[in-house]
Amino acid sequence: MPARDTTSNPLTVSIVIPARNEEASLSACLNSLVAQHGVAYEMIVVDDHSTDRTREVASSFSGSGVKLIKAPELPESWTGKNNAVAAGAKIARGEWLLFTDADTIHLPGSLARSIEEAKRQKAALLSYSPEQIVKSFGEKAVMPVIFADLATSYRPSQVSNPKSPAAAANGQYILITREAYDAVGGHAAIAGNLLEDVALARAVKRSGRKIFFRFAADAVRTRMYRTFSQLREGWTKNLALLFPHPLRLAALRAIEFILIVASLAIAIADALRGHPPSAIAAAILCVILYAVFLTRIRRAHFSWDASLLAIFGLPLFSYFLMRSKLFHNRGAVAWKGRQYSGDQKRIEQESDSTPQEKHGLSHAQS
């Protein structure tokens, strides 16, 4: 990798965008970033050996000051994203580094506001959880379920509390001081970690520095997946790493779905048989169970239509959890055309995935 350029006066922030086969989303991302104002910044797009028009899209923004570089060949034991963002960080000149994904859209003025918020919070690392754009039935059903459990497992109030050991970040938006990044070893220190956002946050918090994490619909939004294959591959990569007991959680969510559906079915059946008391009792139980479920889902900040459809996401979430655990145990985790073993190390650079199947999560969530 090239040595970091320290000869010029540092900018306030360097935006580093890793991009591997991101032709469908990169243009919108860059358009939202070149329109930012109120802060001095540079933009570095790191092409991670794309096979689509990613380089062409990035090159079309060269007149707007976007710098395009190519990621080095993937070293043994590194993940592709860590290799790409590390390459961008090497040449970055900013006092702050913003690592953001190519499928994000940044609201006007959000970059300057994020710097101000990090300083106000005295945070060495600030991470935003973007507003999630969901369009297909599958996205609307399962994404609220997943993010509701993430909100329970990684509570922003605990993550942002220096006295709590809890640490988390969303790789779609990580703002970190150059000093903190170098002090914890940057992405080189977590080179083989598929959950690099959480790993970086943990390293920063362990160093005694403060991190700040919140939901940020006022700053950034993203559509993580556009097809079911992307949805399945992305969460297969991450779920077994995000949740300590994925099989237990899969069982709980499956039981929750069965109880809600069964109580509804009993209520309907008893009503048709002419048994009003038992039908009413079953209906009341169904309403209570669904209300409890919906209360939890609403914490994930999705639209009402997605929250209501999330009941159908419960069995799908259980399936993704079991699939993720199985694939990690087998050492056969695929991500953007690369294969990783169960210990999160690269074992094969290219698979037979099509370019369309290589798009996916960055978060955390990435």
Domain range list for the chain: 11-227, 246-358
Distance (Å, rounded) from C-alpha 253 to C-alpha 314?
6
Query: For residue 350, what pLDDT is reported?
Result: 38
pLDDT tens-digit series, residues 242-253: 999 999 999 999
Measuring CA to CA, which residue among 198, 130, 195, 131 is closest to residue 159? 198
Distance (Å, rounded) from C-alpha 336 to C-alpha 283?
45
Phi, psi of 128 (to 5 degrees): -105, 140
**pLDDT at residue 8 tops 90:** no
pLDDT tens-digit series, residues 196-206: 999 999 999 99
Residue 299, C-beta contacts closer than 8 angstroms, at least 6 positions apart: 148, 151, 152
pLDDT tens-digit series, residues 25-77: 999 999 999 999 999 999 999 999 999 999 999 999 999 999 999 999 999 88
**pLDDT at residue 237 tops 70:** yes
pTM value?
0.87
Structure tokens at 265: 């079915």
Residue 229, C-beta contacts closer than 8 angstroms, at least 6 positions apart: 356, 357
Measuring CA to CA, which residue among 17, 34, 23, 31 is closest to residue 68? 17
Burial class (CB in 10 A: 0-12, 13-18, 19+), 88: buried
Which class is domain 11-227?
alpha beta
